[in-house]
Amino acid sequence: MYRIGFDVGGTFTDFTVHDVRDGSLRYFKTPSTPADPSEAIEAGLRALFGEFGIAAEEVSFVGHGTTVATNMVIERRGVRTGLITTKGFRDVLEIGRQTRPSLYDYSVANPSPLVPRALRIEVAERIDAAGDELLPLDEEAVSSAARRLGEAGVKAVGICFLHAYLRDAHERRAAEIVRGILPEAYVSTSSEVLPEFREYERFSTTVINAYVGPRMERYLERFLARLNDLGATVPPYTIHSNGGLMSVETVRAFPVRTCLSGPAAGVVGAAEVARAAGFPDVVTYDVGGTSTDVSLIANGRPAFATSRLVADYPVRTPMVDVHVIGAGGGSIAWIDDAGALKVGPHSAGADPGPVAYGQGGKEPTLTDANIVLHRLDPVSLLGGRMTVQEAAAHQAIEEKIASPLGLTVEQAALGIIRIAVSNMSRAIRAVSTEKGHDLANFALFPFGGAGPLHASAVARECGIRRVLVPQEPGTMCARGILMSDISLDFVRSEVVQATEESWPGIMERFASMEAQGRDWLDASQVPTEHRTFARVIDARYKGQNHEVQVTLPDAGGFTLAEFRAAFTVAHRQEYGYDVPDRVIEVVNCRLKAVGAVERPATPPQGAAAAMPAPRASRSVHFDEGWRNTPIFDRVALGAGLRIPGPAIIDEMSSTTVVEPGQSVTMDAAGNLILEIAA
């Protein structure tokens, strides 16, 4: 039997196949199809079924990561959406937090709301901050609003009432009315999507969920139809932003939870691989075709966040804390009005792609620079399946960059790489040094097609001494899906002081959520022995505006005194101080229901008998100039082998560059470990 994970990226769709019988892993990549991502999924599955001799009925698990929802928000390709809200609150989406995206640049404005003002309709109703009804729901006003939205061509409706996180009866009734009048409309209520206080974030997240919902449903229908055509009958799972898997039904209800789908899978997989290799503290560094995603893993645990911006719109949902910048293999090199060389954030993507790919690209990219300097194979990539046009890349850099700046092509290409490396290094410092971590104590964990290509330069610039490169790093996100558990997050929001009188009620919130979690795990057919529940409290000192997270034990009781002690530790770590006599407020109670899945164990790597002969050698340009460099196939290397730099190590999904003065060894699990000279 086989377990298959795949991740749909902006440039490539990556696959990892786990053979349950012998534990082996196999890897595959195919170009993405942005117009319909499911096309690349079907094409890739057909190709790998044929290449690896897999029958569809032998597939026991299918999991996938997707950027469909994120791209719809970024490109504003969602459906026409309406909002029904409490009288007096139609402009919450417009008012926001009254912050400017660029404090000193008045030409930079906040994005326009996804729901125009004419489609934001108020109705009379009111729940107070204690959860009591002050004004009953005006059902006729809801009916009238639904009819108006239908006449306006609305395909999705968000329903967001004040304090609905405490009492959802009004939202539930309004949803019933809207569905009765607009049976084809996609309806999201804030009490289901995000039952937390803070109206702006709750409204924004709910509207995004509605905005992307219908088209996500159509994507899922195509995806399921293509799986059915292939003969794969197992229900697929999708990884969500918190690094867990959820069913198709859950994705349909909460597509906003997939906004960080693929990157979260990569971080989960990196944490597992690094822990097994003896590296509990790593910075993950995922460089794809369009972006670089970095995250911090300390003591084997990824960092998590509860909110982020997606195309400048706030999304509040538990997620792996990933910092994203527009720097990838397809990032375009250009010259600004002042004559300075820039790289990104615009990308050539999968279509037309880098110039060297021969798919119509005209603008030089980071990939073209690496091909011109021969750090990437100037003949073919993907194990020979993709031919490369070095001459076209050379010409594009010469015409667009080198000649205007009075540089040689080599100088221009090296400048493109140095600028990209500098941008990536700043992103790494943002999740580490700027948060009080010493990078000298961390290893760099590069993956994505272009991560290992630049890892040695990035590590040197950041002061990182070791780099851990997993097998087939270009498919790490797909591999991470196979290491992810089934999970779903629940939350209860109510601001209450942490006292002996209130503590039993706080514990009751967790009991209620755990009952919900058990029901969800029952529906997902997770055996009882594979279930766990993680509990977290968001708390703050009275008078503060933001919370710190306090993790509770997975099982057993937890007293108020233990909570206060844990809160003190968390507050010191976050802010550097505590206030012993200040009242503590509990804001949110969070529970994560987890169903453990079978994880692929990497078979041990055979010891190296002797230094293998290089597959070839070619002249490669490093900082000091051209050097004759041996080229090794990674599959030919054995455990314990040490290779001095310079060297290039090729594999299907990526290329690892070992610079002069560095060295690389392979561990027993097949990971490459680069030693970076001080």
CATH number of the domain at 589, please.
Answer: 3.30.1490
Q: With cut-offs at 50, 70 and 90, classify the pLDDT of residue 176.
A: very high
Is residue 642 situated within a structural domain? yes
Q: How does residue 348 score in pLDDT terms, banded at 50, 70 and 90?
A: confident
614 touches 604 (CB < 8 A): no
590 and 640 inside one domain: no
Q: Which residues does 482 contact at the CB level (< 8 Å), separation at least 6?
A: 3, 5, 16, 18, 61, 63, 269, 599, 600
d(C-alpha 191, C-alpha 202), whole Å:
9
**What's the pTM?**
0.87
- Among 566, 595, 624, identify where a domain stops: 595
572 occurs within a structural domain: yes
What's the mean pLDDT when you consider all of the chain?
91
Regarding whether 94 and 164 lie in a shared domain, the answer is yes
Confidence band of 566 (pLDDT split at 50, 70, 90): very high
Residue 644 lies in a domain: yes
231 within some domain: no
Whether residue 570 lies inside any domain: the answer is yes
pLDDT band at 650 (very low <50, low <70, confident <90, very high): very high
Beta strands in 441-583 (DSSP E): 443-447, 466-469, 486-497, 531-541, 548-552
The answer to whether 653 and 27 have CB atoms below 8 angstroms apart is yes
Q: Which of 655, 657, 661, 656 is nearest to 676 (CA)?
A: 661
pLDDT of residue 309: 80
Pairing mode, strands 647-650 and 625-633: parallel
Within-domain flag for 363: no
Residue-range definition of the domain harbouring residue 568: 486-595
Q: Is the dihedral of CA 523, 529, 531, 536 positive or negative?
A: positive
**Any idea what the Cα angle at residue 210 is, between residues 209 and 215, rounded to 5°?**
95
Q: Do 382 and 29 contact (CB within 8 A), yes or no?
A: yes
Same domain, 590 and 624: no
Which of 539, 631, 611 minimizes the C-alpha distance to 578? 539
Listed residues 216, 240, 270: the one ending a domain: 216
Q: Are 237 and 478 in contact (CB under 8 A)?
A: no
Which pair of tokens denotes residue 225? 């139809």
Residues 539 and 634 in one domain: no
Q: Is the pLDDT of residue 105 over 90?
A: no
How far apart are alpha carbons 10 and 315 in whole angstroms? 21
Residues 197, 145 within the same domain: yes
Handedness of CA 361, 364, 368, 373 (dihedral sign): positive
- Tokens representing 546? 């933001």
pLDDT value for 238: 93
Residues 176 and 102 in one domain: yes
Q: Are residues 120 and 189 in the same domain?
A: yes
Residue 362 lies in a domain: no
Residues 160 and 208 in one domain: yes
Q: Is residue 93 part of a domain?
A: yes
d(CA 131, CA 170) in angstroms, rounded, equals 11
Residues 589 and 640 in one domain: no
Residues 81 and 187 in one domain: yes
Cα separation of 499 and 559, whole Å? 11
- pLDDT tier at 109 (50, 70, 90 boundaries)? confident
If one counts the domains in the chain, the total is 3
| 72-81, 127-136, 278-287, 465-474: the lowest-pLDDT one | 72-81
Query: Helices (DSSP H) in 53-118: which residue ranges?
Result: 68-74, 92-95
% of residues, the chain, pLDDT over 90: 66
Instruction: Please answer whether residues 335 and 404 qualify as being in contact, where contact means their C-beta atoms are separated by less than 8 angstroms.
Output: yes
589 in the same domain as 506? yes
Q: Of 188, 216, 244, which closes a domain?
A: 216
636 with 508, same domain: the answer is no
Q: Is the pLDDT of residue 606 over 70?
A: no
Degrees to nearest 5, angle at CA 243 with 242 and 249: 80
Predicted confidence at residue 10, as pLDDT, reads 72
Beta strands in 264-330 (DSSP E): 282-287, 292-298, 301-302, 304-310, 313-320, 323-325
Q: What is the arithmetic mean of pLDDT over 484-513?
A: 92
Is 302:320 a contact under the CB 8 Å cutoff? yes
